[in-house]
Amino acid sequence: MAEKVEKEVPSDNVIKAEKRRKLGELRKLGINPYPYNFERNANTEELRAKYGYLKATEHLTEPIIKIAGRVMTVRIMGKAAFFNLQDQQGTIQVYVKMADLPPEDLQVFNLLDLGDIVGVEGPMFGTKTGELTVEAKRFIMLAKTLEPLPDKHAGLADIEVKYRARYLDLITNPHSRKIFETRSKVMREIRNFLDARGFLEVETPVLQPIYGGASARPFKTHHNTLDMPLFLRISPELYLKRLIVGGFDKVYDLTKNFRNEGIDRSHNPEFTMLEWYEAYTDYNYQMKQFEDLVAYLAKKICGKTKITYQGVEIDLSPPWRRLTMLDAIKEYGKFNPQDLSDADLFEKAKELRSVYKKAPSRGELIAEIFEHTAEHHLVQPTFILDHPEEISPLTKKHRTEKGLVERFEPFIAGMEIGNAYSELNDPEEQRARLMAQEKQRLVDDEAHPMDEDFIRSIEVGMPPTGGVGLGVERIVMLLTDQASIRDIILFPTMRPQK
């Protein structure tokens, strides 16, 4: 009985050496393997839309299609060949009859490798099996590749390579390309929604002499000419409020923020944030606007407001559930924080594996207990309302509940996806709050610094204002059903390779 002989797969080094040999051959022939341009007149999507009617064996002689892309598969059949050409829109089959190519083009084709970027010119036809195909009459090398592509069946088995070499992921995984196209559409539709409501898009500084607007550690740098420290923006909030003071009633910034924090499935040090501010409104008004925006995005991206995220159906249609932070603890933690003393509350937090070694403020304890007891239960869209004053230094005091502020955080699938306030516009109270935060910075490097110019701006007069922040990555995760933020950031922050 004859032994089965497995075909030996060449190593990467062998493939690379062969690619370089072919590159040398092209140069010896006087063929430029990296020409300056190629004038396309179609892409794969346009060809399918325009010529999809072609029946089996039906040939056209005109027009001559000029298409370019990456060679993904090749099947040699004697003196003819079929290969798949991939561009941004998709793939299409190309047929090459060797005898039909000009001599120089035939030389190029004979030195072809998978992954090479080529240009093809020729008419359209349908094969015997009805496959829409370009019949190549010209074949031009546009970029000779020197690195092999990942195996077409195994793909990028190493998830680290997927994030570090995103270009390989995009070449080999059409689903990844679709996710990032969807992300771009989300950004566009956010702008469409706000622009239609009369908002003005603005830009705020990335480099700031005083950071603020969030509880986070900043990245610090130094400006040589002015010999001064600067911080990468952790939030555009304080600059957007200055614009409200200046007379713009509705402003937003769709921008990058930078926070010197840990990395996990929903956090990356560099991320995209939408913040908007609207004069003469409060957090009640903005709750309605927030749920309207998310429902609008779901309809535009998914075609409906009911989506499936990680196997769970989520209904994004308004109105969403409203639940105070204290009531959430009562419902999911099965106790009432208001019944406990500060000491007992700290003991309760320690039972829940509190991060605090010493007792913080009562408000900080309540917020941490909420995170441990309630957050993961908030799968369907829920607004968590009325936070402790101690953790909300830029927010108006609650109009009826002592010790609380008018703030909401929306949760979906157990993730916080935003933050919003009835904005504090009393300059004296704001100064007192920031002074308290400044003292807190001795033990908490995420506390807000004092910003005298910001105080001065609201002393000029800021009208009642509702302000909202929305984490764009988390919305994209939901709408594309991705479990990790790394899958919807093209170039996530990674530890350097050794």
Four-residue CA torsion sign, 202, 203, 205, 211 = positive
> pLDDT grade, residue 6 (50/70/90)?
very low
**Residue 115 CB-density burial (10 A; 0-12 exposed, 13-18 middle, 19+ buried):** buried
414: left (phi over 0), alpha (psi -120 to 50) or beta: left
Hunting for tokens 């992954």 — which residue is that? 115
Using DSSP's 3-state secondary structure scheme, residue 313 falls into: strand
Give me the pLDDT at residue 154, please.
Answer: 55
Percent of the chain past pLDDT 90, that is, above it, reads 89
Average pLDDT over residues 242-263: 97
Q: What is the pLDDT of residues 18-49, one digit of tens each?
A: 999 999 999 999 999 999 999 999 999 999 99
**258/221 Cα distance (integer angstroms):** 12
**263/144 Cα distance (integer angstroms):** 37
Helices 452-461, 237-245: crossing angle, 10 deg rounding: 30
Q: Are strands 306-309 and 220-223 parallel, antiparallel or unpaired?
A: unpaired
**236/212 Cα distance (integer angstroms):** 8
Q: What is the pLDDT of residues 76-106, one digit of tens each?
A: 999 999 999 999 999 999 999 999 999 999 9
Q: CA angle at residue 166 from 142 to 233, to 5 degrees?
A: 120
Question: What is the overall mean pLDDT for the chain?
Answer: 94
**438/121 Cα distance (integer angstroms):** 68
Average pLDDT over residues 140-162: 83
Q: Is the pLDDT of residue 155 over 80?
A: no
First to last CA, the chain: 50
Q: What is the pLDDT of residues 396-415, one digit of tens each?
A: 999 999 999 999 999 999 99
Q: Is the pLDDT of residue 68 over 90?
A: yes
Q: Is the pLDDT of residue 9 over 90?
A: no
Of 407, 314, 427, the closest CA to residue 367 belongs to 407
Of 313, 286, 283, 287, the closest CA to residue 298 belongs to 313
Choose the weakest-confidence range: 8-17, 22-31, 368-377, 424-433. 8-17
Give one DSSP letter per residue of 58-91, joined into a string: -B---SPEEEEEEEEEEEEETTEEEEEEEETTEE
Of 478, 480, 477, the closest CA to residue 314 belongs to 478
Q: Which two tokens stand for residue 368?
A: 């941490």
Q: Which two tokens stand for residue 258?
A: 């930078």
Q: What is the pLDDT of residues 204-237, one digit of tens each?
A: 999 999 999 998 999 999 999 999 999 999 999 9
Hunting for tokens 């110019």 — which residue is that? 453
Using DSSP's 3-state secondary structure scheme, residue 464 falls into: coil
Q: Is the pLDDT of residue 370 over 90?
A: yes
Q: Which residues pair with 175 in a beta bridge?
A: none
Q: In order of start, what are the domains of the chain with their CATH numbers?
A: 12-143 (2.40.50.140), 172-320+380-487 (3.30.930.10)
